[in-house]
Structure 1
């Protein structure tokens, strides 16, 4: 496992992905969404990585999360909230 590195996410830019946030405590799970990654960057106080799907919609991942990744999947685990953020490349964005 490693820390968040913006270079690891370059391959996801302008790419259709499936995004999900999973609760390791077994709580309610939000459904995964198919979106197009439009931009990736740090929030103003640099505590979270923002993965933008359009100008106003993004997922914020704490920069303290540990990361595992492959060419087609990026997973960040936040130990303090016990949430896992998963982004996988997919064929298209049709829901």
Structure 2
């Protein structure tokens, strides 16, 4: 796993993605949301990566998160909160 990298999200901007934030294994997982990534950028204080779905709504992923990225799935794990941020390409 690598630290959160903005460029690793570029392939996920083209098309619909499913998004979910969940805790450790065994905890209840919330439903996924289908979204389209509009843009992504650092937050003003440079602590989080903001993934925008429109001009107002975004998901903030700590830049200290460890990221695993495949062709279809981008996963960031924040050790401090115990949260996983998962973005999957829709088929």
TM-score calculated relative to the size of structure 1? 0.88
Map of 1:2 onto structure 2: 2
Shift of 1:26: 4.5
Unaligned runs of 5+ in 2: none
CA contact (8 A) 1:41 1:49 kept: yes
Deviates more, 1:16-25 or 1:78-87: 16-25
Shift of 1:6: 1.3
- Superposed CA RMSD: 1.3
Does residue 49 of structure 1 match 2:21? no
- Number of matched pairs: 91
Unaligned runs of 5+ in 1: none
Map of 2:69 onto structure 1: 69
Q: Deviations over 1:47-72 (max 9, x none)?
A: 00011100111110000000001111
Does residue 33 of structure 1 match 2:33? yes
Counterpart Cα distance in 1 of 2:6 and 2:48: 12
Provide the secondary structure at the position in 2 that maps to 1:21: strand
Provide the secondary structure at the position in 1 that maps to 2:9: helix
Q: Where has structure 1 moved over 3 Å in runs of 4 or more?
A: 25-29
Counterpart Cα distance in 1 of 2:56 and 2:26: 29
TM-score calculated relative to the size of structure 2? 0.92
